[in-house]
């Protein structure tokens, strides 16, 4: 009897196994369906986009003059200070003239001596060599006097502002300039542009310049010099931009951003929510919804941000369903559920 009971229990357990197995399979299939990631999509489009590049640079004065004396003289008086606005021809520094006066007296004595030698030479009382030597010494000192005179009264060669002063009254002028004068109108900035744009950058080309000091306010600039060679290491070429700066608001040393426009091109446009940046890298991706209900992970090159959209330079074509919500747990080839 006991054996019959055990046999019955065994048969009952065996009969239940297929049913239990079937339930597990059904539960797995149900769970698999439920685990499909829900996503929303939007259609990528095509649009003409201005090709704009922004470059940063430091503003420089168009002309920078170092005021110094070529003669080893003592400074009698510096007539201007840092920040002073000066005009072309204005006296800036008066050097000590005692050495100049001594040289002037020496020249006057040499003139008398030369006239005496000249009279003697005419009557045969002096040789040609003596006459030549007296004349040469006089001319040397006259030239030295003119140079010293030019270096005792130092004037400004340009209209500008004093940006540096290195000596005080009574100092002996050394190797450093006494003053530095810089122009404020115009000012310039030097940027380095990719060689791919070389054919498009022309002298006189309009440039929009923003200076960090003035926020988003734009100043009108223009390309003044396009350098003729390309740096083989960086594959860029220098471009000089000039701002008229008639109101003197932009000052040398300010940080500026120059925007150049290189025409328009048709590119793919996607919502900004579609672009996913890879953590720890600079790569960007877009998930594209395919007809078979899966998504493809596409590496893209992004261009300009256009409000709530991105310009896509490569990686996704127009007319594609791009995922704009639900990308967090997606992987390439994953099956998804499309929701409105």
148 by Cβ neighbours in 10 Å (0-12 / 13-18 / 19+) ranks as buried
Arch. (CATH architecture) of 37-49+266-338 = Beta Barrel (2.40)
Arch. (CATH architecture) of 54-62+183-264 = Beta Barrel (2.40)
Distance CA(325)–CA(87), nearest Å, equals: 64
Residue 225 is predicted with a pLDDT of 98
Percent of the chain with pLDDT over 70: 90
Half-sphere exposure of 273 (CA within 13 A, CB side): 13
Say if strands 60-61 and 276-277 run parallel, antiparallel, or are unpaired: unpaired
Q: pLDDT digit string (tens) for 34-56?
A: 578 999 999 999 999 998 999 99
Residue 233 has a CB neighbour count (10 Å cut-off) of: 6
- Phi first, then psi, for residue 109 (nearest 5°) are -65, -40
User: Does the structure show a pLDDT above 70 at 23?
Assistant: no
pTM of the model: 0.64
Distance CA(142)–CA(78), nearest Å, equals: 27
Closest CA to 61 of 210, 206, 219, 245: 245
Mean pLDDT of the chain: 88
What fold characterizes domain 73-94+154-182? OB fold (Dihydrolipoamide Acetyltransferase, E2P) (2.40.50)
Spatial CB neighbours of 285, under 8 Å, sequence gap ≥ 6: 275, 276, 277, 278, 297, 298, 299, 300
Question: In the chain, where are the structural domains located?
Answer: 37-49+266-338, 54-62+183-264, 73-94+154-182, 97-151
Give kind and range of the element (H or E) at residue 21: helix 2-34
Q: pLDDT digit string (tens) for 73-125?
A: 889 999 999 999 999 999 999 998 877 788 889 899 989 988 999 898 888 88
137 by Cβ neighbours in 10 Å (0-12 / 13-18 / 19+) ranks as middle
Residue 16 is predicted with a pLDDT of 46
Residue 103 vs residue 244, higher pLDDT: 244
Residue 267 is predicted with a pLDDT of 96
Strand, coil or helix: what is 20? helix
Q: Are 86 and 156 in contact (CB under 8 A)?
A: yes
Distance CA(169)–CA(156), nearest Å, equals: 18
Distance CA(36)–CA(42), nearest Å, equals: 19
Q: pLDDT digit string (tens) for 123-166?
A: 888 899 989 998 999 999 888 888 778 788 899 999 999 999 99
Strand, coil or helix: what is 337? strand
Distance CA(33)–CA(39), nearest Å, equals: 14
Q: pLDDT digit string (tens) for 196-222?
A: 999 999 999 999 999 999 999 999 999
Residue 150 is predicted with a pLDDT of 78
Distance CA(251)–CA(243), nearest Å, equals: 11
Q: pLDDT digit string (tens) for 157-183?
A: 999 999 999 999 999 988 899 999 999
């Amino acid at each position: 009897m006991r054996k019959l009971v055990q046999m019955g229990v065994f048969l009952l357990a065996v009969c239940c196994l297929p049913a239990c197995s079937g339930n597990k399979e059904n539960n797995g299939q149900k769970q698999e369906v439920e685990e499909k990631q829900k996503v929303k999509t939007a259609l990528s489009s095509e649009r003409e986009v201005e090709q704009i590049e922004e470059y940063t640079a430091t503003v420089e004065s168009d002309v920078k003059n170092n005021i110094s004396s070529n003669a080893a003289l003592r400074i009698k008086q510096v007539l201007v200070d840092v920040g002073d606005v000066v005009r072309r021809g204005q006296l800036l520094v008066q050097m000590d003239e005692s050495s100049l006066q001594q040289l002037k007296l020496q020249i006057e004595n040499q003139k008398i001596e030369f006239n005496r030698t000249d009279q003697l030479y005419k009557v045969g009382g002096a040789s040609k060599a003596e006459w030549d030597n007296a004349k040469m010494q006089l001319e040397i000192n006259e030239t030295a006097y003119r140079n010293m005179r030019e270096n005792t009264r130092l004037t400004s060669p340009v209209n500008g502002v004093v940006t540096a002063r290195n000596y005080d009254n009574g100092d002996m002028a050394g190797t450093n300039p006494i003053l530095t004068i810089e122009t404020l109108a115009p000012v310039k900035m030097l940027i380095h542009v990719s060689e791919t744009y070389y054919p498009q950058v022309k002298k006189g080309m309009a440039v929009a310049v923003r200076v960090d000091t003035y926020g988003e306010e734009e100043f009108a600039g223009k390309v003044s010099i396009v350098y003729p060679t390309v740096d083989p290491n960086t594959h860029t070429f220098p471009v000089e931009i000039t701002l008229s700066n008639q109101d003197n608001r932009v000052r040398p040393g300010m940080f500026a951003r120059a925007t150049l426009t290189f025409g328009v091109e048709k590119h793919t446009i996607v919502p900004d929510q579609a672009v996913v940046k890879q953590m720890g890298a600079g790569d960007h991706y877009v998930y594209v919804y395919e007809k078979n209900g899966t998504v493809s992970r596409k590496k893209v090159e992004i261009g300009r941000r256009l409000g709530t959209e991105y310009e896509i330079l490569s990686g996704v074509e127009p007319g594609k369903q791009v995922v704009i919500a639900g990308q967090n747990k997606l992987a390439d080839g994953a099956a998804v559920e499309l929701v409105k």
